[in-house]
Amino acid sequence: MPFTALGLLPPLAHAAGAQGYAEPTPVQAEAIPAVLAGRDLRASAQTGSGKTAAYALPLLQKLLAGHNASARDLPALVLVPTRELAAQVGDTLREFARALPRPLRIAVAFGGVSINPQLMALRGGADVMVATPGRLLDLIDHNALRLGALSTLVLDEADRLLDLGFADELQRILGLLPARRQTLLFSATFPSAIEALAATVLRDPLRIDVPSEPATAPDIAQRAIEVDTPRRTQLLARLVRDEGWARVLVFVATKHAAEIVADKLRKAGLEAEPFHGVLSQGKRSQVLADFKASRVQVVVATDLAARGIDVVQLPAVVNYDLPRSSVDHVHRIGRTGRAGERGVAVSFITENDEAHFRLIEKRQGAQVPREQVAGFEPAPRQALNPQAEAGTGGIKGKRPSKKDKLRAAAAAAAAKTGD
């Protein structure tokens, strides 16, 4: 089905083609006509489903038809949880907007950098702003913009907005919006807090549930490799070489571990960089640009920072440390195999991880065969307790708490510093 069949103007349909999109993804096929028709959306869509274009394309088309009452009144707002996602959504909007017959002003704002250039950029007003909640409120407090005449609100990765503690900011922002507006809510998961949010912000929404399994799902092969904790870095270096991965995103539990592992990989002769929240925005942008341009082969990242990294043709993701939750696991492995490309997600299973990994497998309804790599076979492991061995029920209470895992990861990283 061509993009024009969804009601998109030819220049926008053409712009999608120019991005290499041969045809709409399922979420795009459902969302685009509904957004053009003015409906609210409640879309459960994973990262990699093409959700950004699903709202970006019809949003731009609608903005083209509208006009601002005053320069300070913002017509459309996309709220996102992280700076990286803000930058990425801004890039997508700008790319598509270049195809339009009249220029639209697209503003991007996030914290961690000076507010002044963002204030300057808003001087002539904006047609659409992509922002993280805290910085948006700062801009409003500076009288740089108003939300009272907003016609479209997009909440992108709404579950992460709440996970990252933006509930209060979100409530304040919602309080500034007019009651009559279009709201599009995208979330990978719908825990009760998101259901409650959806119930208050959406009006008769179209429900879109893009199944995570079927033919349209990213083509991701999962592997689970048993290895002893202190040998993970060597194994990683070996895999990067032997598997011929042009780029690999490695997830670790802490900023400290990101630094240490990247450093060791560099010493092993690989182009590796850490990526975490303590790095300056400039450094983070540089690492991403280098990664995209293949100047860096391995990025070692924490979950928070890695959110929103979108590198086309990312062949591999490695869970050096397991994610804390199965939701994080979905986000992590969704970084590879995007939009129809093949990808592999490798999880290192240390002596402490088996029960936790089983829980992740259970939640995603998948079983990943355990492997060992020659030369990296783990030392014989103690038998797990019988209930955990049975793989049902008994894991609860035996599984380390988040704090336990963080402590263990920090201890492991500290131990590795010394080796």
- Which is nearer to ligand AMP, 174 or 304 (by Cβ)? 304
Q: Does 152 bind ligand AMP (CB under 6 A)?
A: no
In angstroms, rounded to a whole number, what is the distance separating the alpha carbons of residues 168 and 173? 9
Among 4, 7, 21, 228, binds ligand AMP (CB under 6 A): 21
To ligand AMP, the closest distance from the beta carbon of 85 in angstroms equals 9
- Which is nearer to ligand AMP, 84 or 310 (by Cβ)? 310
Among 135, 256, 338, 356, binds ligand AMP (CB under 6 A): 338
**Which residues does 392 contact at the CB level (< 8 Å), separation at least 6?**
none
- Which is nearer to ligand AMP, 47 or 302 (by Cβ)? 47
In angstroms, rounded to a whole number, what is the distance separating the alpha carbons of residues 381 and 183? 52
To ligand AMP, the closest distance from the beta carbon of 388 in angstroms equals 35
Closest-CA residue to 312 (of 291, 284, 285, 282): 291
Query: Is the C-alpha dihedral spanning 78, 82, 83, 88 positive or negative?
Result: negative
User: Looking at 16-24, 159-167, 222-230, 378-386, which segment touches ligand AMP (CB under 6 A)?
Assistant: 16-24
To ligand AMP, the closest distance from the beta carbon of 197 in angstroms equals 21
- Which is nearer to ligand AMP, 53 or 306 (by Cβ)? 53
Window 42-71: contact mask with ligand AMP (x via CB under 6 A): -----xxxxxxx------------------
Size of the site for ligand AMP (CB under 6 A): 16
Q: Does 212 bind ligand AMP (CB under 6 A)?
A: no
Closest-CA residue to 125 (of 149, 95, 101): 149
Residues constituting the chain: 419
Among 226, 310, 321, 353, binds ligand AMP (CB under 6 A): 310
Among 304, 339, 384, 408, binds ligand AMP (CB under 6 A): 339
CB 40 within 8 A of CB 205: yes
- Which is nearer to ligand AMP, 29 or 137 (by Cβ)? 29
To ligand AMP, the closest distance from the beta carbon of 90 in angstroms equals 13
To ligand AMP, the closest distance from the beta carbon of 310 in angstroms equals 5
- Which is nearer to ligand AMP, 312 or 414 (by Cβ)? 312
Closest-CA residue to 54 (of 3, 105, 130): 3
Q: Does 25 bind ligand AMP (CB under 6 A)?
A: yes
Q: Does 312 bind ligand AMP (CB under 6 A)?
A: yes
- Which is nearer to ligand AMP, 235 or 249 (by Cβ)? 249
In the complex, the residues that contact ligand AMP under the rule CB under 6 A are 19, 21, 24-25, 28, 47-53, 310, 312, 338-339
